[in-house]
C-alpha cells in the first residue's frame, strides 16, 4: 500500500485558539494509540483532503505524520474519525490512530458493487445495496483499498452476503458472514385501493339525506303561485254519441 506523508505541528491551544487554527486553514487533530501518549497536533486542511480523503485508500491510507517540534519525529497512523459541522460539512477535528507496522489491526473497508443484475435487466427488479463496508483484521500494509462485488448474475430474490467475499490468507474478514451485501428484489407493484365499505350508520344517513332532498322538491312544486300539478284523473272524459 502506498504511504502518504503529511506534515503536522504540535498544538496546545484550546477554546478560541481552535477557531483561530481553523481560520488559518489548519485542522485540529489528536494522535492516540496503545504505545503512544495522546498528542495534540494540527494538519493542513487542503493537504489532508487532497492527499488522504481523496486518495484511493481514503481513511485506510497509511500516513506518516511528520511532526515539527523541538526535534522532528515521524509517526505511522491511520485516520480513525473525521468530525464535521453538520450544517456546513466543514472538517472540525480529526482523530489519528497510531499503528505499528508489524502488528495486525482491525479496520473497515468499503464495498463497491459492479455490473447490472439479470433480474434488473430482464425482469424489472430492483438492486438493493445492503452492507456498505466490512470489518477486517490484517497488517496495516495488507489493508485492501476496497472489496469489489460483481452483482451481474443476480436474478430476482437472489442475494450476496459477506461469506461470498473473496478471501485471502493475509486478510481476515471479521464481519458476520450472514450480513447481506446485495439483493435483487422483485419489481414493486402499485396496490389498488379498495373502495371503503359504508357502515350502517352511513347508509342510514345517506337515506335520510335523499329523503330530505325529495321532500324539498315536493315543497318547491307546491309553493304559492306555482301551477298546480295536473292529474290524469281530472282530464275531461269524451262524450258518448
Domain coordinates in residue numbering, the chain: 3-100, 106-185
Contact 75, 18 (CB under 8 A): no
* The pLDDT value given to residue 31: 94
> What is the pLDDT, as a whole number, of residue 199?
64
Closest CA to 165 of 152, 182, 153: 182
Architecture per CATH, 3-100: Beta Barrel (2.40)
Q: What is the pLDDT of residues 45-99, one digit of tens each?
A: 999 999 999 988 888 999 999 988 656 678 999 999 999 999 999 999 999 999 9
Of the pLDDT bands very low, low, confident and very high (cuts 50, 70, 90), residue 180 is very high
- Locate all alpha helices (DSSP H) within 13-105, ordered by sequence: 16-23, 45-48
Q: Report d(CA 223, CA 230) in Å as an integer.
A: 15
pLDDT value of position 191 = 47
Asked if pLDDT for residue 15 goes beyond 90, the answer is no
Express each pLDDT in 103-132 by its tens digit: 999 999 999 999 999 999 999 999 999 999
Q: What is the pTM of this model?
A: 0.67
pLDDT of residue 160: 97
- DSSP single-letter state for residue 140: G
At 56 the pLDDT is 84
94 Cα distance to chain centroid? 23
State how far the Cα of 162 lies from the Cα of 153, in Å rounded to an integer: 16
Fold observed for domain 106-185: RNA Polymerase Alpha Subunit; Chain A, domain 2 (2.170.120)
At 201-228, the pLDDT tens digits run 666 666 666 566 556 655 555 555 555 5
Q: Which residues are CB-neighbours of 68 under 8 A, at least 6 positions away? A: 7, 8, 9, 10
Query: Which of 137 and 227 is assigned the larger pLDDT?
Result: 137
Amino acid at each position: 500500500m502506498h504511504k502518504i506523508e503529511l506534515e503536522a505541528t504540535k498544538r496546545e491551544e484550546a477554546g478560541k485558539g481552535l477557531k483561530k487554527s481553523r481560520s488559518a486553514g489548519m485542522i485540529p487533530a489528536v494522535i492516540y494509540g496503545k504505545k503512544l501518549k495522546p498528542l495534540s497536533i494540527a494538519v493542513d486542511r487542503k493537504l489532508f483532503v487532497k492527499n488522504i480523503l481523496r486518495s484511493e485508500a481514503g481513511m485506510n491510507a497509511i500516513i506518516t505524520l511528520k511532526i515539527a517540534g523541538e526535534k522532528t519525529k515521524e509517526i505511522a497512523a491511520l485516520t480513525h474519525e473525521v468530525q464535521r459541522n453538520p450544517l456546513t460539512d466543514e472538517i472540525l477535528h480529526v482523530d489519528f490512530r497510531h499503528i505499528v507496522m508489524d502488528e495486525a489491526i482491525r479496520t473497515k473497508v468499503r464495498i463497491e458493487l459492479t455490473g447490472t443484475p439479470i433480474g434488473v435487466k430482464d425482469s424489472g427488479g430492483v438492486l438493493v445495496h445492503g452492507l456498505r463496508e466490512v470489518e477486517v483484521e490484517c497488517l496495516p500494509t495488507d489493508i485492501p483499498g476496497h472489496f469489489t462485488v460483481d452483482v451481474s448474475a443476480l436474478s430476482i430474490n437472489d442475494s450476496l452476503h459477506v461469506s461470498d467475499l473473496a478471501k485471502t490468507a493475509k486478510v481476515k474478514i471479521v464481519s458476520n458472514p450472514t450480513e447481506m451485501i446485495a439483493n435483487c428484489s422483485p419489481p414493486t407493484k402499485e396496490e389498488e385501493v379498495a373502495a371503503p365499505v359504508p357502515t350502517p350508520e352511513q347508509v342510514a344517513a345517506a337515506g335520510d339525506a335523499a329523503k330530505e332532498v325529495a321532500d324539498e322538491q315536493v315543497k318547491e312544486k307546491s309553493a304559492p303561485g306555482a301551477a298546480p300539478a295536473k292529474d290524469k284523473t281530472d282530464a275531461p272524459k269524451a262524450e258518448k254519441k
